[in-house]
């Protein structure tokens, strides 16, 4: 994050040259006058009112001081405050205003906290490999008085921001650095914050019969892993546990069903589902959420090679069901199949939510605006939909239906990993996953292929890794399960 926020007593006069203030919808010359403590006659000489526009942030250069005006509209919701904070970050960056004081004025503390949250979320930069190039660093002084409760709330925002950025860092790392073993090493560090990390290597997975997951990693010289991350914030009721499962394909070449060269480099982000699970677990532990959660990630690299899985291979999954692998590029579902059954069997969770950059088809359907949501449970779906709107990480439900099953029934195994008849690519993928939930546990699948990474910046994200899902699932837990 390239912004550091410090809190100062609001009675202190800001000594920064750059001062930001919120203004109402139709601010007037007298409003600016009282804010800047300059007389109207003097103001009129400095300000060209034609440039003043109450829709956008702008600044006035007054007597050696820069006053940045942040217009707030009456109908603003929490979400709008986050986006406004992000806009201020862009403004500071574009103008190279490196140190700014912000007065809360008439904004209530909750909206102000969301404003700062948006500003910080937007300021993420991944510059680990940029050598000596100058890094952006902005200092924001928030002039507010915080009660004890406010401080706790701000702590909560900080935890979520840390989780979002942990996920973004994992996704941004190049695939030669973040291969499965290195990923495991980073997850082991979560032990320090009270998460129980258990690592299953290939030998252990072989014993358990996770041949669907293992098959995907066969062509790679890197070892595959399954990692569980357990966090108990509700110790009185340890068996009441919720679960999140993530696809962690550290690089997806397609395997023997090799992908075309163009944009193949993007497939480093094929582990984004697992990164969101990891970031979520980190934020829950940091904010000491009062809930028990397990995160399960399957970490593999999908490579071609002499030992790689072939199209036509049949593998026996952890569930006991056999899978005919017709296309080695439909590997995410093979990883998730075993991870889902394992999670359900071992932890008996109250729900399972999985996240995966699963299909290109979901980008055709929903682009970079909504993640695809598939679920066997209306209540869980509705909750996800609602919290999505609240945090601006939107999800859109698509159907599951047993009639799709015939498209993935194999003639020589229990199921095949692609549907050859064409159409409904994201649905048949979800339908495939559902076959590995054996006990009808409430389950939701989020296909985040269009949301995890973007060449373009969005409201709350710079270009690159978004961390989509960490805020969504924090909100889900916060609102309905804590
Ligand atoms: N990782 C890809 C899906 C993907 C595509 C993610 C574009 C992000 C951006 C997945 O493993 C894949 O290759 N899916 C295939 C499935 C097909 C072979 C049935 C796809 O979507 O083309
Ligand atoms: Zn693939
Ligand atoms: Zn993939």
Rounded mean pLDDT of the chain?
94
Give the closest residue to 270 by CA, choosing from 356, 197, 190.
356
User: Is the model's pLDDT at 89 over the cut of 60?
Assistant: yes
Share of the chain above pLDDT 90, in %: 83
301 lines ligand 1 (CB under 6 A): no
Query: Which residue range is the domain that position 29 belongs to?
Result: 3-146
Give distance in angstroms: CA of 311 to centre of ligand 1.
Answer: 16
359 C-beta closer than 6 A to ligand 1:
yes
Report, as an integer, the average pLDDT of 9-24.
77
Instruction: Tell me the best of 175, 215, 355, 360 to mutate to test the pocket of ligand 1, counting ligand atoms within 8 Å of each CB and taking the most.
Output: 360
DSSP for 41-58 reads HHHHHH--GGG--TTS-E
Q: What is the pLDDT of residue 30?
A: 67
Q: How confident is the model at residue 56 (pLDDT cuts 50, 70, 90)?
A: confident
Is the beta carbon of 361 within 6 A of some atom in ligand 1?
yes
| 210 in any annotated domain | yes
Atom of ligand 1 nearest to the CA of 357: 6
pLDDT in tens, 193-205: 999 999 999 999 9
Residue 60 banded pLDDT, cuts 50, 70, 90: confident
- Residue 262: inside a domain: yes
C-beta of residue 58 within 8 angstroms of C-beta of residue 52: yes
- pLDDT-derived band at 16 (thresholds 50, 70, 90) equals confident
Per-residue pLDDT of 267-305, as tens digits, reads 999 999 999 999 999 999 999 999 999 999 999 999 999
37: left (phi over 0), alpha (psi -120 to 50) or beta: left
Distance 99 CA to ligand 3 centre (A): 42
Which one of 94, 120, 146 terminates a domain?
146
Q: Which residue's CA lies nearest to atom 5 of ligand 1?
A: 360
357 lines ligand 1 (CB under 6 A): yes
Residue with tokens 């060449």: 455
332 lines ligand 1 (CB under 6 A): yes
Give Cα 119 to chain centroid, integer Å: 16
Ligand 1 pocket check: which of 359, 424, 433, 455 to mutate, most ligand atoms within 8 Å of Cβ? Answer: 359
Q: Same domain, yes or no, for 165 and 34?
A: no
In a domain, 151, yes or no: no
Please write the tens of the pLDDT for every residue from 213-237: 999 999 999 999 999 999 999 999 9
User: Around ion ligand 2, which residues have CB less than 5 A away?
Assistant: 252, 329, 331
pLDDT for the residue numbered 15: 66
Asked whether residue 92 carries a pLDDT value surpassing 60, the answer given is: yes
Tracing tokens 């969101």 back to the chain, one arrives at 276
Atom from ligand 1 closest to the CA of residue 270: 1
Asked whether 447 lines ligand 1 (CB < 6 A), one says no
Confirm if 381 and 372 have CB atoms less than 8 A apart.
no
241 with 216, same domain: the answer is: yes
Distance of CA 71 to CAs 207, 219, 242, Å?
A: 61, 56, 41
What confidence category does residue 1 fall into, taking pLDDT thresholds of 50, 70 and 90? confident
Q: Is residue 121 part of a domain?
A: yes
Look at residue 199 and tell me if it is in a domain.
yes
pLDDT confidence band for 177 (50 / 70 / 90) = very high
Asked whether residue 367 falls in the same domain as residue 445, the answer is: yes
447 DSSP assignment: E
Residues 33 and 178 in one domain: no
Q: What is the mean pLDDT of residues 151-160?
A: 97
Tell me: pLDDT of 50 over 60.
no
Q: pTM for the complete prediction? A: 0.96
Same domain, yes or no, for 191 and 307?
A: yes
pLDDT of residue 29: 67
- Ligand 1 in reach of 71 Cβ (< 6 A): no
Q: Looking at the structure, do residues 399 and 340 belong to the same domain, yes or no?
A: yes
Active site residues: 259, 333
Instruction: Check residue 182 and give its pLDDT.
Output: 98
Burial (CB count <10 Å: 0-12, 13-18, 19+), residue 198: middle
Do 127 and 217 have their domain in common? no
Q: Which atom of ligand 1 is nearest to the CA of 327?
A: 18
- State in Å: Cα 101 to ligand 3 middle: 45
**Of the candidates 328, 347, 287, 295, which has an alpha carbon nearest to the alpha carbon of residue 152?**
287
Q: Does residue 450 have its Cβ closer than 6 Å to ligand 1?
A: no
* pLDDT computed for residue 63 by the predictor: 73
Report whether residue 360 contacts ligand 1, using a CB cutoff of 6 Å. Answer: yes
My answer on whether 78 and 28 are in the same domain is yes
Domain edge (last residue) among 146, 181, 213: 146
Look at residue 266 and tell me if it is in a domain: yes
Share of the chain above pLDDT 70, in %: 93
Atom of ligand 1 nearest to the CA of 331: 11
**Domain match, 62 and 201 both:** no
Ligand 1 in reach of 82 Cβ (< 6 A): no
The span from the CA of 300 to the CA of 303, in Å, is 9
Q: Which of 120-134, 145-159, 357-371 has the lowest mean pLDDT?
A: 120-134
Please check whether residue 115 is in contact with residue 109, taking contact to mean a CB–CB distance below 8 angstroms.
Answer: no
Closest ligand by atom to 298 CA = 3
153 belongs to a structural domain: no
What is the average pLDDT across 396-423? 96
Lowest mean pLDDT among 35-39, 165-169, 277-281, 350-354: 35-39
329 Cβ closer than 6 Å to some ligand 1 atom = yes
- Domain CATH number, residue 275: 3.40.630.10
How far, in Å, from the CA of 416 to the mean position of ligand 2? 15
**How many Å apart are CA 14 and CA 154, to the nearest integer?**
21
Nearest alpha carbon, ligand 1 atom 16: 330
Atom of ligand 1 nearest to the CA of 259: 13
Residues 176 and 74 in one domain: no
Compute, in angstroms, the gap from residue 249 CA to the centroid of ligand 3: 6
Q: Is 144 in the pocket of ligand 1 (CB under 6 A)?
A: no
Are the C-beta atoms of 208 and 278 separated by less than 8 Å? Answer: no
Are 44 and 163 in a shared domain? no
Mean pLDDT of 248-252: 98
C-alpha to C-alpha distances, 97 to 55, 62, 94, 129, 458, nearest whole angstrom: 20, 15, 8, 25, 22
- Band (400; pLDDT cuts 50, 70, 90): very high
Residue to substitute in 266, 301, 329 for testing ligand 1 pocket (most ligand atoms within 8 angstroms of CB): 329
Residue 421 and residue 345 in one domain? yes
Domain count, the chain: 2
- Report which ligand 1 atom has the smallest distance to the Cα of 418: 19
More confident position, 43 or 340: 340
Query: At 104, is the pLDDT very low, low, confident or very high (cuts 50, 70, 90)?
Result: confident
Residue 302 domain-assigned (yes or no): yes
The length of the chain in residues reads: 482
Domain final residue, candidates 99, 119, 146 = 146
From the CA of 252, give the closest atom in ligand 1: 1
Q: Mind listing the pLDDT tens digit for each residue in 309-348?
A: 999 999 999 999 999 999 999 999 999 999 999 999 999 9
CATH number for the domain that contains residue 99: 3.40.220.10
Say what angle helices 78-95 and 378-391 make with each other, to 10 degrees.
40
Determine the Cα–Cα distance for residues 122 and 289; give it in Å rounded to an integer. Answer: 24
How many angstroms does the Cα of residue 260 sit away from the middle of ligand 2?
11
């Amino acid at each position: 994050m390239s912004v550091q926020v410090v809190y100062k007593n609001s009675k202190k006069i800001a000594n920064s040259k750059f001062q930001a203030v919120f203004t109402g919808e139709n601010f007037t010359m007298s409003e600016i006058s009282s804010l800047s403590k300059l007389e109207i006659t003097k103001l009129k000489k400095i300000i060209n009112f034609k440039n003043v526009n109450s829709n956008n942030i702008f600044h006035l250069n007054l007597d050696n001081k820069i006053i940045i005006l942040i217009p707030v509209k009456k109908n603003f919701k929490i979400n709008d405050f986050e986006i406004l904070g992000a806009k201020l970050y862009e403004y500071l960056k574009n103008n190279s205003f490196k140190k700014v004081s912000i007065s809360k004025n008439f904004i209530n503390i909750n909206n102000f906290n969301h404003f700062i949250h948006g500003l910080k979320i937007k300021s993420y930069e991944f510059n680990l490999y940029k050598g000596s190039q100058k890094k952006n660093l902005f200092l924001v002084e928030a002039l507010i008085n915080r009660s004890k409760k406010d401080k706790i709330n701000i702590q909560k925002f900080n935890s979520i921001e840390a989780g979002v950025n942990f996920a973004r860092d994992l996704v941004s790392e190049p695939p030669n650095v973040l291969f499965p073993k290195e990923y495991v090493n980073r997850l082991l560090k979560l032990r320090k914050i009270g998460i129980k990390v258990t690592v299953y290597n290939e030998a252990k997975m072989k014993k358990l019969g996770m041949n669907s997951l293992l098959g995907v990693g066969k062509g790679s010289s890197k070892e595959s892993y399954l990692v569980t991350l357990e966090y108990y914030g509700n110790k009185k009721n340890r068996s009441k546990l919720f679960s999140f499962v993530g696809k962690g394909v550290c690089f997806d070449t397609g395997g023997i069903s090799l992908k075309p060269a163009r944009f193949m480099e993007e497939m480093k982000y094929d582990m984004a589902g697992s990164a969101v699970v990891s970031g979520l677990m980190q934020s829950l532990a940091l904010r000491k959420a009062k809930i028990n959660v397990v995160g399960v990630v399957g970490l593999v690299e999908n490579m071609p090679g002499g030992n790689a899985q072939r199209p036509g291979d049949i593998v026996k999954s952890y569930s006991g069901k056999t899978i005919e692998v017709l296309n080695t590029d439909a590997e995410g579902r093979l990883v998730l199949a075993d991870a889902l059954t394992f999670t359900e069997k071992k932890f008996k969770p109250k729900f399972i939510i999985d996240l995966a950059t699963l299909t290109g088809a979901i980008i055709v359907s929903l682009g970079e605006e909504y993640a695809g949501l598939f679920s066997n449970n209306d209540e869980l779906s509705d909750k996800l939909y609602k919290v999505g709107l609240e945090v601006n990480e939107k999800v859109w439900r698509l159907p599951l239906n047993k009639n799709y099953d015939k498209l993935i029934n194999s003639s020589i195994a229990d199921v095949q990993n692609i549907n050859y008849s064409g159409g409904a690519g994201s649905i048949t993928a979800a339908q495939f996953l559902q076959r590995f939930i054996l006990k009808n546990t409430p389950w939701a699948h989020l296909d985040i292929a269009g949301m995890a990474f973007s060449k373009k910046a969005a409201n709350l994200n710079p270009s690159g890794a978004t961390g989509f899902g960490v805020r969504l699932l924090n909100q889900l837990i916060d609102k309905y399960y804590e």
